[in-house]
Amino acid sequence: MNMKKKFPSPVIQDLKYYVYIYSHPTTNEVFYVGQGKGNRVFSHLNDESESQKVKYIKELKSQNLEPKIEILIHGLEDKDSALRVEASIIDILGIKNLTNKQIGYKSALYGRMALEQVNSAYDRQKVNIEEPAVLIRINRAFRHSISEMELYDYTRGQWRLNPNNASKAKYAFAVYQGIVQEVYEVIQWYEAGKTYSVRQGIENIERKDEDVLKGRYEFVGNYAPDKIRDKYKFKSVEHYFKKHNSNPIKYENFN
């Protein structure tokens, strides 16, 4: 099939901003979600990058197939609206099931969330920490659709810290935007790279890259007891972090 790769000018004017998907032509499996205006939807067909999306399209072409392209929604007035819809679709389908490089626009802040997460993000109920704990901010890695295993692995390492201080912590808090997302009971700290992790990409713990991992540490642990999790989970601890302090590690109750 000879696919059209350009919209007529009147169509572009009426489409405004839109969100689109690429899927397999026979299985209908969606492999990419995008947004844009004009002829943006066709741009990937001539892309020569090394992205997973391009590799997928080239594999289809090698089988004499063309990706199925659909517009999910159009007539959006601005890019911000298109980005938010795109992010919602990515959240529903799951970033791991797509060739998109990253989660959608502001997905960590406004994307798919459990009711408890919505309440905690806006209610921001403060809690005072009473047990020896290390607070670990994972703002860069977090998204509300993160799996339990990913949350655990991104919380526990790899951190530049004083292992003697860290060893005094009975619990480790996973903190995003000042809200406790999970609480773990710390069993033992190790030099980074000594234990298995599901983390991928440049931070993949299995790289064993001494330059990257040197001076970094990770812990192994379990979920904290239910009474501890119920006490702190989805509560605000932002008052423990000084404004403009970028250090992701904070120790509490080590007296």
Q: What is the pLDDT of residues 12-51, one digit of tens each?
A: 999 999 999 999 999 999 999 999 999 999 999 989 888 9
**Looking at residue 19, what is its pLDDT?**
95
Domains of the chain and any CATH numbers: 9-110 (3.40.1440.10), 115-252 (no CATH)
Of 77-86, 131-140, 142-151, 166-175, the poorest mean pLDDT is in 142-151
**Closest among 35, 11, 17 to 75, alpha carbons compared:** 17
| CA–CA distances in Å: residue 68 to residues 18, 42, 147 | 16, 11, 30
* Dist. CA 176–CA 220, nearest whole Å: 20
Q: Is the bond leading into 158 cis (omega within 30 degrees of zero)?
A: yes
Instruction: Give the residue from 142, 77, 138, 88 showing the smallest Cα distance to 110.
Output: 88
Rounded to whole angstroms, the Cα distance separating 82 from 247 reads: 34
Q: What angle do CA 155, 166, 211 make, to 5 degrees?
A: 70
- Write down the pTM of the prediction: 0.67
**pLDDT tens string 50-77:** 899 999 999 999 999 999 999 999 999 9
The H or E element containing residue 115 is helix 115-123
Cα(255)–Cα(197) distance, rounded to whole angstroms? 32
Omega into 35 within 30° of 0, i.e. cis? no
